[in-house]
Structure 1
């Protein structure tokens, strides 16, 4: 579980997104960061027993920086309004698909994962594997645990309006092949974040996603 104070800190940082406030309340940031890091360590310890690719990870290498990269953004606010961690085989910069945890008060948190906006060469490999092994991939999406927790893959901005080059519109996998990201998301409420069952819920959420992660990573090897 997370401490309620951690959510309060993120809320206050969102309202006071400036360096002066951040510096004045750095001790609160350190407490919130430590609380989140403890959760990430517990996830690695627990879920690493289910997915061996996660076991070697260190929390510090999974957690994203609180500071925003504003170099190419019109929004110059210096800090993120959430805390996040990515649990990927080989680390979050490995290029492999993985699991993601996003903590944002206001019932905007989520757990899930996949691979977000891969490079063209990676996406080509993923689409080929889905096309070649469509029955296997469809079975993963139709697993009861996956359907119950995720419902399906995220679409919206992640999807082409027509079939990608080289694929027929009658292909049984065409709606999935249109995707530019292969991602599944499960929302988390603020009450769930501070519940003693949070770790158990996240582990169950990641476990239901594991066959999809393994499939994507197999296509990238």
Structure 2
């Protein structure tokens, strides 16, 4: 498979209307067919990613929702999704793709960095943002992702100057890039090419963040 098919969207739309175990059980054969087709597309993407990055593993997420701590008790997700992990401790960041009628997107970056990584990133931004500004203001970055996204504190983190000229970056708690797709774009024959192109466009950002998170403030490696 090298493209997403309309039948996949048709199934997901029907699942959204009939999100219950009885309907799903009755239609499970069709689910398995659609899931396998989408998995094959993700496997093609993984092979393409391997051409320009070092990929450790590919994870295709289950359709079943964990409803234990959710107010929404519908048992099934109404999308297919998967992620690709970069290999070795030196390569940080990861790729994600979600297929959903009216809500397909790809993403990459650092969703919930631990406190040590978050402090290291903020300290780097406190010292110098020349390189990260150059990356996120690059025309290729803007074309694919528009901007660096993520939740942020309302004020400066403890220990940082709220008047710092780069406080907009220092306040951030997440460092994510995303690209949304229309249904027409997802169903187009060049969809996987477009996804791979955006994944490739993440590399300068990933390279920069990997260097930060594998070195100390003096630039010395912290990787064994």
TM-score by structure 1 length?
Answer: 0.88
Query: Which residue pairs with 2:63 in the alignment?
Result: 66
Q: 2:96 matched to 1:100?
A: yes
Query: Which residue pairs with 2:4 in the alignment?
Result: 2
Please give the alpha-carbon distance, in whole angstroms, between the structure 2 residues aligned to 1:32 and 1:82. Answer: 11
Q: CA offset at residue 153 of structure 1?
A: 1.3
Query: Which residue pairs with 2:209 in the alignment?
Result: 216
Q: CA offset at residue 154 of structure 1?
A: 1.8
Specify the SS of the correspondent of 1:62: strand
Q: 1:220 to 1:65 in 2, by over 3 A?
A: farther
Query: Which residue pairs with 1:166 in the alignment?
Result: 159
Q: CA offset at residue 142 of structure 1?
A: 1.3
Query: Which residue pairs with 2:33 in the alignment?
Result: 31
Specify the SS of the correspondent of 1:75: coil
Q: Is the 8 A contact 1:112 1:205 kept in 2?
A: no
Please give the alpha-carbon distance, in whole angstroms, between the structure 2 residues aligned to 1:189 and 1:183. Answer: 20
Q: CA offset at residue 96 of structure 1?
A: 4.4
Please give the alpha-carbon distance, in whole angstroms, between the structure 2 residues aligned to 1:81 and 1:213. Answer: 30
Specify the SS of the correspondent of 2:51: coil
Query: Which residue pairs with 1:88 in the alignment?
Result: 85
Q: 1:25 to 1:185 in 2, by over 3 A?
A: same
Please give the alpha-carbon distance, in whole angstroms, between the structure 1 residues aligned to 2:128 and 2:202. Answer: 18
Number of residue pairs aligned between Structure 1 and Structure 2: 210
Q: CA offset at residue 149 of structure 1?
A: 1.4
Aligned residues: CA RMSD: 1.8
**Structure 2 unmatched runs, 5+:** 215-224
The match for 1:11 among 13, 18, 23 is 13
Specify the SS of the correspondent of 2:106: strand
Query: Which residue pairs with 1:145 in the alignment?
Result: 140
Specify the SS of the correspondent of 1:30: helix
Query: Which residue pairs with 1:77 in the alignment?
Result: 74
Q: CA offset at residue 136 of structure 1?
A: 1.0
Which stretch shows the higher mean deviation, 7-16 or 208-217? 208-217
TM-score by structure 2 length?
Answer: 0.87
**Structure 1 unmatched runs, 5+:** none
